[in-house]
């Protein structure tokens, strides 16, 4: 009887853990670029695309997005912005706070007219980082 209870408990835990995993989305980056404001507050030019292979995890259970770069970038999600869609893009956005407590907006954009290419934008007041991402 004890083995039956143990089996049922393990089965229950396995299904419970599967439910938790379903709320986590994993991506890999292939490159990134940065756009900065100059001293006059005007946007400059995008930097050259730098190739980089990083993991990105969107975890809606823990309300965070993590970019596993050399220095881990942790973004705590404060607000989920309603999904937007138009003829060219599908956008999921999140208002966040980063490791340093600075507010920023993260957006995962799918480019419909570019073979459904995905990009992660990290928008601050003075600079924007964009990562090209793929779902894994």
pLDDT 10s digits, 70-100: 999 999 999 999 999 999 999 999 999 999 9
For residues 99 and 68, the answer to whether their CB atoms sit within 8 Å is no
pLDDT, mean of residues 54-70: 97
pLDDT single digits (tens) 95-118:
999 999 999 999 999 999 999 999
The answer to whether 108 touches 102, Cβ cutoff 8 Å, is: no
pTM: 0.81
- Whole-angstrom distance, CA of residue 119 vs CA of residue 110: 7
Question: Minimal CA–CA distance to 50: which of 69, 31, 36, 65?
Answer: 31
Distance of CA 132 to the CA centre of its chain: 11
Burial (CB count <10 Å: 0-12, 13-18, 19+), residue 97: middle
**Within 10 Å of residue 131's Cβ, how many Cβ atoms?**
22
**Tokens found for residue 135:** 């779902």
C-beta of residue 61 within 8 angstroms of C-beta of residue 77? no
Percentage of the residues of the chain whose pLDDT score is greater than 70: 84
């Amino acid at each position: 009887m004890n083995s039956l209870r143990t089996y049922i408990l393990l089965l229950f835990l396995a299904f419970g853990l599967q439910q938790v995993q379903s709320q986590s989305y994993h991506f890999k980056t292939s490159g990134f670029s940065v756009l900065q404001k100059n001293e006059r507050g005007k946007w400059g030019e995008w930097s050259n695309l730098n190739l980089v292979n990083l993991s990105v995890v969107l975890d809606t259970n823990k309300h965070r997005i993590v970019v596993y770069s050399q220095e881990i970038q942790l973004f705590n999600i404060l607000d989920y912005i309603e999904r937007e869609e138009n003829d060219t893009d599908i956008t999921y956005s999140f208002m966040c706070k980063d490791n340093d407590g600075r507010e920023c907006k993260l957006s995962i954009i799918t480019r419909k007219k570019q073979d459904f290419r995905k990009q992660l934008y990290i928008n601050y007041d003075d600079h924007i980082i964009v990562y090209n991402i793929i779902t894994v």
